Amino acid sequence: MRVLRYLFRMIRAVLTVCLIFVSAMAGHSSKFEELDKPPEGARKGQMLLGGYFSMGYPQGKVLDAENDFVKDYSYEISDDIYKLLWVSHLSFSYGASYEYMPIDHLGVKARLGRMFLVQRTRFGSEYENWREILYDEYSILVGPSLHTTTRKRWDFTLTPFIGYVMADYTPTPIAKKLIADYDAGQPKDVSTYAAGAELNFTGYFSGGLFITFGFDWQVRFLDFGGGFILEREGLVFFPGGRDSRIYSYSFIFSAGYAFSH
Separation between Cα atoms, residue 185 and residue 176, nearest integer Å: 9
pLDDT category at 69 given cuts 50, 70, 90 is very high
Please give the pLDDT value at position 216: 98
Q: How far is Cα 259 from Cα 23, in angstroms, rounded to an integer?
A: 9
Is residue 26's pLDDT more than 90? Answer: no
Whether the predicted pLDDT of 164 surpasses 90: yes
Whole-number pLDDT of residue 79: 80
Q: What is the reported pTM? A: 0.84
Q: Is 191 helix (H, G, I), strand (E, B) or coil?
A: coil
**Nearest alpha-carbon partner for 60 in 231, 198, 247:** 247
Model confidence at 55, pLDDT cuts 50, 70, 90, reads very high
pLDDT-derived band at 30 (thresholds 50, 70, 90) equals very low
Does the pLDDT value for residue 260 go beyond 50? Answer: yes
Burial of 4 (0-12, 13-18, 19+ CB in 10 A): exposed
- Average pLDDT of the segment spanning 91-97: 97
- Which residues share a beta bridge with 160? 197
Whether the predicted pLDDT of 114 surpasses 90: yes
pLDDT mean over 119-124: 94
Exposure string over 222-252, b if 16+ CB within 10 A, otherwise e: bebeeebebebeeeebbeebeebebbbebeb
Rounded CA-CA distance 105/158 in Å is 11
